[in-house]
Amino acid sequence: MKRRKDAAQIKKDIAHQIKDLFSQKGYNATSMEEVCKVTGRSKGSIYYHFKSKEEMFMYLIKLNNEEWMEAWMGKEAAYVTTREKLFALADHYVDDMNNPLSHAINEFMSSQVVTESMLNDMLELTRLPYITYEQLITRGMERGELKKDSSSDVMYVLTGLFNGMSMLYYEKDLEEIRRLYKKGLEILLAGMEAPNQVIMTEED
């Protein structure tokens, strides 16, 4: 059991060490020689933990997404209503567009030959926020802030809004994107918020 934990920690250490390298150079321009230099490990040691450069980068994306979710969970408690939480979540989403690794991720996604296995891995990564989003929506319905509906349906619509509008990164500055995200949420909430709300507190 201890060996498995050690191996898992080593993988995390490697991922954290190479994050800046991939952020600065992009996926394609980063060589395994540079990975070895940054981590202080031999190719054999790297390949012991990752079968390929592709697998290593996919793991880095997964870790990045998990840390994004952890950061959001740390922020969420500062907001009370579902409306406040959703707008804060939109800000959190837009803020991440400044993450230097995002460029390398976009390059990686658009330049790889997508196998069935890789597609499944990508889908798994995109599903990471689903539970958190659905719980937020479900609580909003339970507290009388949102109309009763299928929380999973609303979660998919919300995810589609956030992911779809991320393409604005290529044509708008961040503050304009932030405004449009909030505009999108206003439109969405116009159809979701319960009339004559009686909002229950967490204690209730």
DSSP string, 139-202: HHHHTTSB-S--HHHHHHHHHHHHHHHGGGGGTS-HHHHHHHHHHHHHHHHHHHBPTT--PPPS
Q: Residues 45, 47, 49, 52: what is their CA dihedral angle, to the nearest 10 degrees?
A: 150
- Alpha-carbon distance of 20 to 101, in angstroms, equals 8
* Residue 2 clears pLDDT 80, i.e. is over it: no
Contact 76, 140 (CB under 8 A): no
* Residue 1 clears pLDDT 50, i.e. is over it: no
Residue 200: predicted pLDDT: 52
- Alpha-carbon distance of 68 to 174, in angstroms, equals 18
* Residue 197 clears pLDDT 80, i.e. is over it: no
The position carrying tokens 């296995």 is 117
pTM beyond 0.85: the answer is no
For the chain, count helices (H), then strands (E). 10, 0
Residue 112: predicted pLDDT: 67
* Residue 181 clears pLDDT 70, i.e. is over it: yes
Model confidence band, residue 100 (pLDDT cutoffs 50, 70, 90): confident
**Mean per-residue pLDDT, 115-124:** 78
Gyration radius of the chain's alpha carbons: 20
Q: Domains in the chain, start-ordered, CATH in brackets?
A: 54-192 (1.10.357.10)
